[in-house]
């Protein structure tokens, strides 16, 4: 891959695109991406990064247009840096994320049903109860790590049970998600370190996706019910459960961590929420826009394409910077301000179009359960020390958030 990129550097240019010497996987970028995002947006509608032979779209309009054209900007060649047509993927590809029509249409329908609003409705009371119980315990402590004690503790207390995963071995879930989201980026240190126990972790996850290891009444079982109806094969059902386990935990943990950070850093917004609890839904949406827990996804051009009059050849990896689009001043007023009553609908933090996050109702259910519990049980929510970034090639957020809560 190194060699291929070296070649690309001398041979490939995208005529009309500004080439920038920015590394979106360097530590400085990952920890504090905002100035880099502005440079990417301001350079032009189409930017080229010779270092990775990647085209970057960072403006809202361009990102959304690419997401809205899956025939041209395809997913089956992988939605990370690696082109599955040229390199062997680290695991059998996802049959929903890393797929195009007609396969994607079929698998998407199955997860749409398993994760529909009505399918999730019966989970809501339990989520709300668990959130209140957890938050009450934290208020009693007074000082917490917002990540370990809440952002991780809450999803871990509801999500594996909702899917129907066995209790034994659940410590493998977070390392697996960390691997999967690092694997969308280059093989840097982050990637290598997260793959330290790849064999053990992967084997456990794959085994838990089998029907006989899932509870009879969970979301996993309802995916297998679709196989009984002939909508997918049993093997495909297993891969779709794998998708749930891959995409469902780290994402919500980063989102809830981001929410705590936003509330602690913006006391006026926290006060506004306490005064107007009906804002929980728009507040959670705004957290996703403002922090973009999933910062990036790639597409690959399936044919020669044109973006803003610039010709892009077939087989080009396109980095869609969702996080930059979500703070594009061309789209958002006061883009860098966190406003719980903003109409942030239309952000691309969950993606957009046919691949838009299939689990977002579940993510919302979790985020809003925590937020409602905070509003009803907590008066004071403040940082109590330095937050520490958690580094990942795709996800942006914290792994330590010392807080005072009362
Ligand atoms: C999947 C998958 C993995 C990671 C993320 C994701 C954001 C899906 O295995 O299908 O969606």
Tokens of 390: 């958690």
Q: Pairing mode, if any, of strands 143-145 and 388-390?
A: unpaired
Ligand 1 center–CA 247 separation, angstroms:
4
Residues 189-242: tens digit of each pLDDT: 999 999 999 999 999 999 999 999 999 999 999 999 999 999 999 999 999 999
Q: How far apart are the first and last CA of the chain?
A: 52
Alpha helix ranges (H) inside 68-123: 103-114, 117-121
Residues with CB under 6 A from ligand 1: 94, 96-97, 180, 243, 246-247
368 within 8 A of 286, measured Cβ to Cβ? no
Ligand 1 atom 4, closest CA:
247
Q: Which residue has a Cα nearest atom 10 of ligand 1? A: 243
Choosing from 90, 246, 250, 295 the residue with most ligand 1 atoms within 8 A of its CB, the one to mutate for a pocket test is: 246
366, two tokens:
């979790």
From first to last of the 406 residues of the chain, give the pLDDT tens digit: 333 444 444 446 899 999 999 999 999 999 999 999 999 999 999 999 999 999 999 999 999 999 999 999 999 999 999 999 999 999 999 999 999 999 999 999 999 999 998 899 999 999 999 999 999 999 999 999 999 999 999 999 999 999 999 999 999 999 999 999 999 999 999 999 999 999 999 999 999 999 999 999 999 999 999 999 999 999 999 999 999 999 999 999 999 999 999 999 999 999 999 999 999 999 999 999 999 999 999 999 999 999 999 999 999 999 999 999 999 999 999 999 999 999 999 999 999 999 999 999 999 999 999 999 999 999 999 999 999 999 999 999 999 999 999 9
Residue 257: both structure tokens together: 């961590």
CA of 375 to the centre of ligand 1 (A): 31
Q: Are 327 and 37 in contact (CB under 8 A)?
A: yes
Residue among 247, 350, 392 whose CB has most ligand 1 atoms within 8 A, to mutate: 247
What is the DSSP-derived secondary structure letter of residue 391? Answer: P
Query: Is the full-model pTM beyond 0.85?
Result: yes
Q: Which residues pair with 145 in a beta bridge?
A: 402
Give CA–CA dist 49/21, Å, rounded.
6
Query: Which ligand 1 atom sits nearest the alpha carbon of residue 184?
Result: 4
| 74 φ, ψ (degrees, to nearest 5) | -90, 165
Residue 119 has which token pair?
Answer: 């399918």
Find where tokens 């919302």 sit.
364
Closest residue to atom 5 of ligand 1, CA basis = 247
Q: Does domain 4-405 have CATH number 1.10.630.10?
A: yes
**CA–CA dist 382, 270 (Å, integer):** 10
Every domain of the chain and the residues it spans: 4-405
Strand order in the sheet with 296-301: 18-19, 47-49, 54-57, 317-321, 296-301, 73-74
């Amino acid at each position: 891959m190194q060699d291929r990129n070296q070649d690309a550097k001398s041979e490939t240019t995208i005529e009309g695109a500004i080439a920038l010497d920015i590394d979106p996987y360097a530590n400085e970028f990952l920890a504090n991406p905002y100035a880099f995002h502005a440079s990417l947006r301001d350079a032009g509608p189409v930017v080229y990064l010779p270092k990775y032979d990647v085209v970057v779209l960072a403006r809202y309009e361009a990102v959304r247009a690419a997401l809205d054209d899956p025939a041209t900007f395809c997913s089956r060649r992988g939605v990370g840096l690696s082109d599955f047509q040229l390199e062997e993927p680290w695991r059998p590809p996802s049959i929903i994320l890393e797929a195009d029509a007609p396969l994607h249409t079929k698998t998407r329908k199955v997860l749409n049903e398993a994760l529909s609003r009505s399918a999730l409705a019966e989970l809501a009371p339990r989520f709300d109860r668990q959130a209140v119980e957890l938050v009450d315990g934290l208020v009693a402590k007074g000082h917490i790590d917002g990540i370990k004690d809440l952002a991780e503790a809450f999803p871990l207390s509801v999500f594996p049970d909702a899917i129907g995963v066995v209790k034994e071995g659940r410590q493998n879930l977070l390392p697996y998600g960390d691997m999967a989201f690092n694997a969308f980026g280059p093989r840097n240190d982050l990637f290598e370190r997260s793959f330290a126990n790849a064999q053990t972790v992967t084997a456990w996850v794959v085994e838990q996706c089998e029907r006989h290891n899932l509870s009879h009444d969970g979301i996993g079982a309802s995916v297998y019910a679709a196989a009984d109806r002939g909508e997918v094969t049993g093997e495909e059902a297993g891969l779709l459960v794998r998708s749930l386990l891959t995409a469902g935990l780290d994402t919500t943990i980063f989102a809830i961590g981001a929410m705590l950070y936003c509330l602690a850093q913006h006391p006026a917004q926290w006060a506004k929420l306490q005064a107007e609890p009906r804002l929980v839904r728009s507040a959670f949406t705004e957290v996703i826009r403002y922090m973009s827990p999933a910062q990036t996804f790639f597409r690959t051009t399936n044919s020669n394409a044109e973006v803003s009059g610039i010709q892009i050849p077939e087989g080009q990896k396109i980095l869609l910077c969702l996080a930059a689009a979500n703070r594009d001043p061309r789209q958002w007023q006061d883009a860098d301000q966190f406003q719980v009553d903003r109409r942030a609908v239309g952000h691309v933090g969950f993606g957009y179009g046919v691949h838009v996050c299939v689990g977002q109702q579940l993510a919302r259910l979790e985020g809003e359960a925590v937020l409602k519990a905070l509003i009803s049980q907590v008066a004071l929510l403040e940082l109590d020390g330095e937050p520490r970034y958690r580094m990942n090639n795709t996800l942006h957020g914290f792994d330590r958030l010392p807080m005072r809560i009362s």
